[in-house]
């Protein structure tokens, strides 16, 4: 809307928009600007005219108009007389609701995208750390026979794998896509692990307090669901913690799995203090706790979310002074026949392998593993140097990191392929890879995500053996 007003705020000219919006189609001439804009009887206390005159620049005023439920920006342009006094002014009013919304959205998007970038960078670094932890644990397991040590290493390995799964969640967050429940999860195995992991709470702590908490585990065979094992582990841990909290004088915690047509059920039963009806009603509310400062009230709300995501059902049965049973039910799946890797682990050849990664510990871990299997391993943290060596000497396989200073794994792969097309290139990366077919085409033969298990590496080597064999057969035909 554009209006021209004189010094006493009377409108002397107005454009069509102003007439339509403020004057309901009638001319505004003769009316005061503060009447038509604000329905006020006096000039506005925040009139931008004076600010504009004082400052010598146009100072816009942003106003929210309740009549239209929209934001308007008002600007005053003074028109000067010959004696340099303000004779009249142009009032320019613009609806800025849409552009404000866009601005807000874009600043929100910027924040989210910064967050995503930070978290995916952190995730990448953690994957490198976990690669070394997992690798060294796997190497140690091959050398140790002491059962206690082996058990400890198993636990370290499991925790590192849990960490890797958490990192994957961060990566999923920064790369939004529908979460798929892609793993076959053995609930019996998870229950046994969780009972073990929570041991400090039910065994050690209860011994200190001189009470007895006895877990009884009753597991039917074949309890498999589709899901995310670390989520399920998390949910079961929360449920068991609550059961132990509910038995300050000791008691029995029994965990029972069962298969019924198409479903599997898990019951966690404690002989604790139980809950009133009101507590049962609020048990899944975030921040609801009866434990004062000792609780945060987030356990069961998290459990609820996890069970729902797994298309499961959760029910709570409780009686004050008798105990509580948390009943879970999930759609069952048949266990997939064991994945191919174990069939193909026995390699009949040894390879000459070149490893390139800017993380020395990762190189060393991979090298120890591969040399142990009899492969000839050369390593380098500098991709340029590596390229030079590879051009002069034959290597069956090049294992390269994706992101490295100077030259990326993809560029490196392309250069190697141009020199030696038969060299097999394995890309290892801690990024959530979303490579397009054209990135990989003719450059990368295999991709392995960090952190990796040695089984995965071995499986890839056996695939390479098979592939090279086929190529050779073709050549001799
Ligand atoms: P928190 O454990 O931090 O209090 P939760 O969400 O895990 O939070 O549980 C919420 C509340 O539900 C608990 O404070 C407790 O009152 C009740 N509750 C959960 N499980 C049990 C149980 N097995 N026996 C008795 N009360 C329970
Ligand atoms: Mg809890």
Give 340's DSSP letter: G
Closest atom of ligand 1 to CA, residue 273? 25
Residue 290, ligand 1, Cβ within 6 A: yes
191 has a pLDDT exceeding 90: yes
Residues 6+ apart with CB under 8 A from 466: 344
* CATH architecture for the domain at 2-95: 2-Layer Sandwich (3.30)
> Could you read off the pLDDT of 434-448 as tens digits, one per residue?
566 667 777 899 989
**Residue 210 or 387, more confident:** 387
How far does residue 295's CA lie from ligand 1's centre (Å)?
8
Give the number of the ligand closest to the Cα of residue 289: 1
The H or E element that residue 65 is part of is: strand 61-65
Whole-number average pLDDT of the chain? 87
- The pLDDT tens digits of the residues spanning 388-415 come to 999 999 999 999 998 887 888 889 999 9
Answer yes or no: are the C-beta atoms of 423 and 397 closer than 8 Å: yes
Q: In 229-374, where does DSSP find H-type helix? A: 229-245, 277-282, 299-309, 360-372
pLDDT of residue 440: 74
Determine if ligand 1 sits within 6 Å of the CB of residue 243.
yes
Query: Does the beta carbon of 23 sit less than 6 angstroms from any atom of ligand 1?
Result: no
User: Which residue is it, tokens 């601005």?
Assistant: 103
- Residue 32 confidence class, pLDDT cut points 50, 70, 90: very high
CATH architecture of 183-331: 2-Layer Sandwich (3.30)
For ligand 1, is residue 324 a contact (CB within 6 Å)? Answer: yes
Average pLDDT over residues 144-153: 92
Q: Which two tokens stand for residue 330?
A: 């999930």
Helix 147-174 to helix 187-197 angle (10° resolution) is 110
Q: Check pocket membership of 305 for ligand 1, CB cut-off 6 A.
A: no
- Residue 183: its H or E element: strand 183-186
The answer, yes or no, to whether any atom of ligand 1 lies below 6 A from the CB of 135, is no
CB 194 within 8 A of CB 240: yes
Given a cut of 80, whether residue 365 has pLDDT beyond it is yes
Q: 299 CA distance to ligand 2 centroid (A)?
A: 4
Residue-level pLDDT at 196: 81
Per-residue confidence band for 119, with pLDDT thresholds at 50, 70 and 90: confident
Query: What letter does residue 119 receive in the DSSP assignment?
Result: H
> Rounded distance, CA 357 to CA 364, Å?
10
Query: Which CATH architecture group holds 352-476?
Result: 3-Layer(aba) Sandwich (3.40)
Give me the pLDDT at residue 67, please. 84
How many Cβ atoms sit within 10 Å of the Cβ of residue 173?
A: 15
Residue with tokens 């990192």: 167
Residue 255 has pLDDT above 60, yes or no: yes
- From the CA of 326, the nearest ligand is 1
pLDDT at 433 over 90: no
As a whole number, mean pLDDT of residues 365-385 equals 93
| Section 374-386 average pLDDT | 93
Mean pLDDT calculated for residue range 33-44: 91
Show the DSSP H helices in 183-276 as ranges: 187-197, 199, 205-208, 229-245
Mean pLDDT of 218-241: 91
- Point out the ligand nearest to the CA of residue 303: 1
Q: What percent of the chain has pLDDT over 70?
A: 92
Q: Which of 268, 281, 266 is nearest to 227 (CA)?
A: 266
Residue 437 is predicted with a pLDDT of: 63
pLDDT value of residue 343: 46
Which one of 283, 293, 318 would you pick to mutate in the ligand 1 pocket, going by the greatest count of ligand atoms within 8 A of its CB? 283
Please give the Cα distance from 175 to 435 (Å, whole number). Answer: 13
Predicted local distance difference test score (pLDDT) of residue 199:
84
Q: What pLDDT is recorded for position 341?
A: 46
More confident of the two residues 175 and 195: 195
User: Which residue has the CA at smallest separation from atom 14 of ligand 1?
Assistant: 289
* Residue nearest atom 11 in ligand 1 by C-alpha distance: 289
pLDDT greater than 60 at residue 174: no
DSSP code at position 284: T
Q: What is the mean pLDDT of residues 209-227?
A: 91
**Residue owning the nearest CA to atom 7 of ligand 1:** 299
Task: Output the CA 302–ligand 1 centroid distance in Å.
Answer: 12
Q: Is 123 in the pocket of ligand 1 (CB under 6 A)?
A: no
**Residues, CB-to-ion distance under 5 Å, ligand 2:** 242, 299
Convert 321-345 to b/e letters by CB count within 10 Å (16 or more is b).
eebbbbebbbebbeeeeeeeeeeee
**Residues 86-98 pLDDT 10s:** 899 999 999 998 8
Pocket test of ligand 1: the residue of 235, 242, 277 to mutate, having most ligand atoms within 8 Å of its CB, is: 242
Phi (first) and psi of residue 67, to 5 degrees: -65, -40
End-to-end CA distance of the chain: 83
**Domain definitions of the chain by residue range:** 2-95, 111-174, 183-331, 352-476
Q: Please give the pLDDT value at position 54.
A: 83
Instruction: Using most ligand atoms within 8 A of CB, pick from 215, 289, 320, 324 the residue to mutate for ligand 1.
Output: 289
Q: Tell me, using a 6 A CB cutoff, whether residue 242 lines ligand 1.
A: yes
Q: What is the pLDDT of residue 164?
A: 86
Looking at residue 24, its pLDDT comes to: 84
175 or 285: whose pLDDT is higher? 285
CA-nearest of 250, 141, 240 to 205 is: 250
pLDDT at 102: 78
Q: For 101-115, what is each residue's pLDDT tens digit?
A: 778 777 766 776 677
Distance of CA 238 from the midpoint of ligand 2 (Å):
5
3-class DSSP state of 63: strand
Sign of the dihedral defined by the CA atoms of residues 385, 386, 391, 392, in that order: positive
- Section 358-373 average pLDDT: 91
- pLDDT tens readout for residues 455-472: 889 889 999 998 888 888
Rg (CA), the chain: 35
* Extended strands (E) in 334-476: 352-356, 376-380, 397-401, 424-429, 446-449
**pLDDT value, residue 405:** 78
pLDDT over 60 (residue 179): no
Query: Residue 177 pLDDT more than 50?
Result: no
Is the per-residue pLDDT at 77 higher than 90? yes
Backbone CA torsion sign across 166, 168, 173, 174: positive
């Amino acid at each position: 809307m554009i209006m021209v007003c004189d010094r006493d705020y009377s409108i002397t000219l107005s454009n069509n928009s102003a007439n339509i919006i403020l004057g309901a189609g009638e001319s505004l001439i003769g009316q005061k600007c503060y009447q038509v804009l604000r329905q006020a009887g006096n000039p506005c206390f925040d009139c931008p005219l004076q600010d504009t005159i004082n400052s010598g620049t146009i100072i816009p005023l942003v106003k929210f108009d309740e009549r239209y439920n929209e934001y308007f920006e008002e600007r005053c342009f003074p028109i000067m007389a010959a004696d340099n006094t303000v004779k009249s002014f142009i009032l320019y009013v613009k609806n800025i609701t849409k552009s404000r919304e866009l601005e807000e959205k874009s600043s929100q998007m910027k924040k989210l995208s910064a967050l995503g970038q930070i978290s995916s960078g952190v995730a990448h670094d953690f994957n490198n750390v976990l690669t070394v932890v997992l690798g060294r644990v796997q190497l140690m397991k091959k050398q140790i026979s002491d059962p206690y040590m082996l058990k400890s290493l198993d636990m370290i390995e499991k925790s590192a794998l849990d960490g890797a799964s958490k990192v994957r969640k961060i990566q999923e967050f920064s790369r939004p896509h529908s979460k798929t429940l892609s793993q076959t999860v053995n609930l019996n195995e998870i229950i046994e692990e969780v009972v073990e992991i929570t041991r400090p709470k039910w065994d050690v702590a209860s011994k200190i307090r001189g009470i007895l908490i006895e877990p009884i585990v009753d597991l039917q065979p074949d309890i498999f669901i589709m899901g995310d094992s670390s989520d399920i582990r998390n949910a079961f841990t929360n449920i068991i913690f609550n059961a132990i909290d509910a038995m300050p004088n000791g008691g029995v915690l029994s965990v029972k799995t069962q298969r019924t047509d198409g479903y599997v059920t898990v019951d966690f039963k404690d002989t604790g203090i139980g809950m009133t009806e009101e507590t049962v009603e609020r048990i899944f509310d975030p921040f609801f706790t009866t434990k004062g400062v000792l609780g945060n009230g987030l356990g069961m709300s998290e459990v609820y979310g996890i069970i729902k995501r797994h298309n499961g059902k959760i029910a709570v049965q409780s009686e004050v002074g008798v105990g509580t049973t948390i009943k879970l039910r999930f759609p069952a799946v048949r266990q997939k026949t064991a994945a191919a890797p174990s069939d193909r682990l026995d390699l009949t050849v040894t390879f000459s392998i070149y490893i390139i990664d800017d993380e020395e510990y990762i190189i060393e871990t991979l090298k120890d593993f591969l040399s142990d299997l009899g492969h000839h391993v050369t390593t380098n943290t500098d991709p340029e140097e590596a390229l030079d060596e590879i051009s002069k000497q034959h290597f069956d396989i090049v294992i390269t990191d994706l992101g490295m200073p100077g030259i990326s794994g993809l560029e490196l792969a392309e250069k190697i392929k141009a020199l030696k097309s038969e060299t097999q290139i394995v890309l290892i990366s801690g990024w959530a890879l979303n490579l397009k077919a054209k990135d990989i085409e003719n450059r990368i033969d295999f991709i392995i995500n960090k952190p990796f298990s040695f089984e995965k590496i071995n499986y890839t080597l056996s695939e390479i053996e098979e592939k090279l064999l086929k190529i050779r057969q073709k050549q001799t035909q």
